[in-house]
């Protein structure tokens, strides 16, 4: 049952937005404290809302980790939540999986590209020719609103969250790291993205940084973030599904998701070196795994939380 009634929390969100906006978010005054839960967040004044699927480990406390999980092109947030349940109990996590439905976020520009491009006049136009949307309408702001709604609903006191996305969700993650410098991300994992916004000023946005102004391309802040590019060793050029973009600019990044992820990471590392920036990104390849969100979710959970568990466990 989706909960839509209860107290109104008026939450002030700012992702480097020139004028802060106040959006009402409906939350319940009481909610299931452990296990599965679901609620709805109104993300703008036009009536768009997001169903949020939650799993809270039975030992999870108000200051324990929260990870926001972003689904692939099928927008199957509930399936992604279920893929994380075992890890949630193992590592004492709260899983927050917002569903950005195709009804309200129909195109790749609305979801994969984070709503950075305007919705109007898309017919017969390529992404690299679309005008930019106002920053307050970017999907990254909606993710921040989901986090605030969860904090209110469950009485959480932490001020940051981890972020995981697979496939189309992985595209959102790396763009949010690059273009939302004020987002309260602790650590991010971009898994098996189909293509990237590469730190390269010779390629037009959304494939590169050409067309972006200095305010949008805050590379030093982006490179300072802790982000892992997580790649499946078998998610390679044999992939022939229509979901893998094969435009000329996408194919310049490589034939398959593995090659494209390596290309993105390599160009980012070189750009950071040329700017003498701190570079806190990493890349990991998961052996024997293809385009499998369940296996990549498990790998991401172990990567993020297993070292911490080892360090804090009995000596």
Ordered structural domains, the chain, with CATH: 8-312 (3.40.50.1820)
What's the confidence (pLDDT) of residue 272?
95
Question: What is the spatial distance between Cα 7 and Cα 277, in angstroms, rounded to a whole number?
Answer: 45
229's CB contacts (< 8 A; 6+ apart) are 174, 190, 261, 264, 265, 281, 282, 283, 284
Size of the chain in residues: 315
Q: For the chain, how far is it from start to end, CA to CA, in angstroms?
A: 44
Give the pLDDT band of residue 19 (cuts 50, 70, 90). Answer: very low
3-class SS of residue 158 = coil
Tell me the CB-side half-sphere exposure of residue 118, using CA atoms within 13 A.
Answer: 9
Instruction: Please tell me the pTM assigned to this model.
Output: 0.87
Tell me the CB-side half-sphere exposure of residue 3, using CA atoms within 13 A.
Answer: 21
Question: What is the spatial distance between Cα 112 and Cα 203, in angstroms, rounded to a whole number?
Answer: 18
Report the pLDDT averaged over residues 190-218: 88
Say whether pLDDT at 13 is over 90. Answer: no
Per the CB < 8 A criterion, the answer to whether 16 and 5 are in contact is no
Report the pLDDT averaged over residues 32-48: 84
230-to-126, 173, 284 alpha-carbon distances in Å:
28, 11, 5
What's the confidence (pLDDT) of residue 130?
85
Say whether pLDDT at 142 is over 60. Answer: yes
Say whether pLDDT at 227 is over 50. Answer: yes
3-class SS of residue 193 = coil
Beta strands in the chain (DSSP E): 8-13, 21-26, 35-42, 49-56, 66-70, 94-99, 161-166, 185-191, 226-232, 282-286
What's the confidence (pLDDT) of residue 238?
61
What's the confidence (pLDDT) of residue 44?
81
Report the pLDDT averaged over residues 153-165: 95
What's the confidence (pLDDT) of residue 118?
81
> 35: which strand partners?
56
Do strands 161-166 and 282-286 pair parallel, antiparallel, or not at all (unpaired)?
unpaired
Give the pLDDT band of residue 256 (cuts 50, 70, 90). Answer: very high
Report the pLDDT averaged over residues 287-309: 93
70-119 pLDDT per residue, tens: 999 999 999 999 999 999 999 999 999 999 999 999 888 999 999 999 86
Say whether pLDDT at 29 is over 50. Answer: no
- Which of 44-53, 105-114, 189-198 shows the lowest per-residue confidence on average (mean pLDDT)? 44-53
Per the CB < 8 A criterion, the answer to whether 249 and 207 are in contact is yes
Per the CB < 8 A criterion, the answer to whether 231 and 258 are in contact is yes
Q: Is the dihedral of CA 186, 177, 272, 281 positive or negative?
A: positive
What's the confidence (pLDDT) of residue 1?
46
Report the pLDDT averaged over residues 224-242: 83
Nearest of 172, 173, 184, 174 to residue 66 by alpha carbon: 184
Do strands 94-99 and 282-286 pair parallel, antiparallel, or not at all (unpaired)?
unpaired
Say whether pLDDT at 160 is over 90. Answer: yes
């Amino acid at each position: 049952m989706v909960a839509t009634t209860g107290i109104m929390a008026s939450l002030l969100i700012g992702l480097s937005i020139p004028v802060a906006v106040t959006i009402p978010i409906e939350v319940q005054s009481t909610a299931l404290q452990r296990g599965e839960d679901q609620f709805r967040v109104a993300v703008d004044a036009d009536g768009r809302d997001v169903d949020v699927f939650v799993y809270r480990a039975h030992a999870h406390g108000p200051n324990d980790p929260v990870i926001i999980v972003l689904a692939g092109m099928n927008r199957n947030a509930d399936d992604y939540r279920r893929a994380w349940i075992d890890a949630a109990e193992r590592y004492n996590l709260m899983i927050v999986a917002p569903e950005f439905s195709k009804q309200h976020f129909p195109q790749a520009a609305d979801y994969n590209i984070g709503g950075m491009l305007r919705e109007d006049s898309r017919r017969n136009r390529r992404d690299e020719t679309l005008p930019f949307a106002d920053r307050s309408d970017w999907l990254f702001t909606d993710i921040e609103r989901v986090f605030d709604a969860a904090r209110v609903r469950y009485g959480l006191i932490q001020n940051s969250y981890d972020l995981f996305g697979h496939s189309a969700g992985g595209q959102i993650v790396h763009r949010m790291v690059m273009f939302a410098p004020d987002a309260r991300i602790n650590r991010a994992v971009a898994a098996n993205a189909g293509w990237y916004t590469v730190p390269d000023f010779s390629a037009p946005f959304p494939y590169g940084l050409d067309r972006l102004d200095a305010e949008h391309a805050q590379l030093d802040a982006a490179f300072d973030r802790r982000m892992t590019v997580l790649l499946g060793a078998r998610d390679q050029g044999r992939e022939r599904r229509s979901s893998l973009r094969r435009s000329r600019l996408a194919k310049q990044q490589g034939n398959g998701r593995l090659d494209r992820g390596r290309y993105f990471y390599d160009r980012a590392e070189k750009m950071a070196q040329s700017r003498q920036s701190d570079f806190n990104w990493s890349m990991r390849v998961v052996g024997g795994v293809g385009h499998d969100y369940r296996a990549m979710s498990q790998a991401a959970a172990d990567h993020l939380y297993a070292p911490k568990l080892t360090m804090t466990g009995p000596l």
